[in-house]
């Protein structure tokens, strides 16, 4: 065995695991407040709504005037956050927002209604 094989292999493993931490780690935190009178929050997730990378469901639903607990999400970077919502007529829908989240950063999403009663999901 060559003398540099083991150190190079260990270095490669270390670099690879460091990349995995950068890609999947960081544990940014997210909280969603609901100030929309007609909507309740069913779940919050990251990625595609049909096959989410991460999802947190709420039972009971988060009503108007309430805020979710602070949740750690498993990824950082440019992510798509979706919020599963239910209106006052018990119809389900999904609102989505793009966020740029840094490692360890805290982001708060706010659900509000405009003067016409349309839902807005935004990060202040």
- The per-residue pLDDT for range 1-40, each reduced to its tens digit, is 556 566 555 555 544 444 343 444 568 999 999 999 999 9
User: Is 114 within a domain?
Assistant: yes
How many domains are there within the chain? 1
In a domain? residue 67: yes
For 72-107, what is each residue's pLDDT tens digit? Answer: 999 999 999 999 999 999 999 999 999 999 999 999
Tokens describing residue 83: 């919020």
**pLDDT value at residue 27:** 86
Say if 11 falls within a structural domain.
no
Q: Is residue 102 part of a domain?
A: yes
Q: CB–CB of 66/87 below 8 Å?
A: no
Task: Read off the CATH number of the domain in which 108 is found.
Answer: 2.60.40.2890
Q: Where are the beta strands (DSSP E) in 1-124?
A: 29-34, 40-47, 52-62, 66-67, 71-72, 77-86, 92-101, 106-113, 119-122
Nearest C-alpha neighbor of 79 from the set 103, 58, 62, 61 = 103
Q: Is residue 12 part of a domain?
A: no
User: pTM of this prediction?
Assistant: 0.75
The answer to whether residue 66 sits within a structural domain is yes
21: enclosing H helix or E strand: helix 5-24
State the residue range of the domain holding 70.
27-122
């Amino acid at each position: 065995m060559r003398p540099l094989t083991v150190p190079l292999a260990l270095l490669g493993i270390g670099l690879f695991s460091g990349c995995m931490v950068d890609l999947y780690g960081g544990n940014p935190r997210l909280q969603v407040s609901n100030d929309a009178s007609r909507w309740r929050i069913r779940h919050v997730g990251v990625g595609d709504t049909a096959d989410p990378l991460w999802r947190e469901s709420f039972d009971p639903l988060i009503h108007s005037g309430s805020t979710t607990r602070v949740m750690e999400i498993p990824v950082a970077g440019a992510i798509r956050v979706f919020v599963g919502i239910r209106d006052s007529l018990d119809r389900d829908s999904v609102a989505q927002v793009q966020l740029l989240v840094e490692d360890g950063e805290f982001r708060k999403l706010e659900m509000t209604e405009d003067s016409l009663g349309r839902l807005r999901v935004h990060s202040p």
